[in-house]
Amino acid sequence: MSTFYGFKSSIKYIDFSTDNYYLQCEDNLGEVQLFEIESSRIINTEAIDFDLEWLGEGLRSYSPLENVRAQYSGDNKIMQIVKLSGKPIVAIGDEIGTIRFFNYPNNGSDGYYQCYADHLYTITKCLFTHDQRFFISTSSSDRCVFKWRCRYNDQKIKGLMQLLIKNEINDNILN
């Protein structure tokens, strides 16, 4: 067990990098701290020369989802965000109670998967089960917890994964 220090107010969000080396925390004042998990030390984000990929709330500010964020506004804010580990899919729960699934990363072309508007109010939590067979969403205002069975378009996922690998190779060649 480790203790992380340096916060000026209570913690609002935490998130882990997909490689499980970093922890990102945001306090209620909006200040974001990045920690190396193993050493519990604060990391300067400008000192990192590679893109970190996040599993949850850290995805809000992650550049590959810039086109997704553009679809939300002050009238309908992103309330929950979670990436499906090992697959190019991100789920977003919003302020008006809809859950949307997008391709990840999202370059703006054919990035929209599906939309479900079954909750009546703000999504308070959403997550995939450890075996990725189900998606759980909650809304405290409508007092509902929904358990969704996941059906994946394996052909589309395979194509997106190949595109991700190709883009990674091209990025490495250019750098």
Give the pLDDT band (50/70/90) at residue 99.
very high
Q: What is the pLDDT of residues 5-20, one digit of tens each?
A: 777 887 777 777 877 7
Q: What is the pLDDT of residues 33-60, one digit of tens each?
A: 888 888 888 888 777 766 677 666 666 6
Same domain, 76 and 140: yes
Domain boundary among 14, 33, 52: 52
Q: What is the pLDDT of residues 109-145, one digit of tens each?
A: 666 778 888 888 899 888 888 888 999 998 878 888 8
* Stretch among 47-61, 64-78, 102-116 having the lowest mean pLDDT: 47-61
Count up the domains in the chain and report the number: 2
The boundaries of the domain holding residue 152 are 55-174
Same domain, 7 and 35: yes
Same domain, 25 and 96: no
Same domain, 121 and 41: no
Domain boundary among 52, 80, 95: 52
For residues 133 and 7, what is the distance between their CA atoms, to the nearest angstrom? Answer: 36
Q: What pLDDT score was predicted for residue 105? A: 72
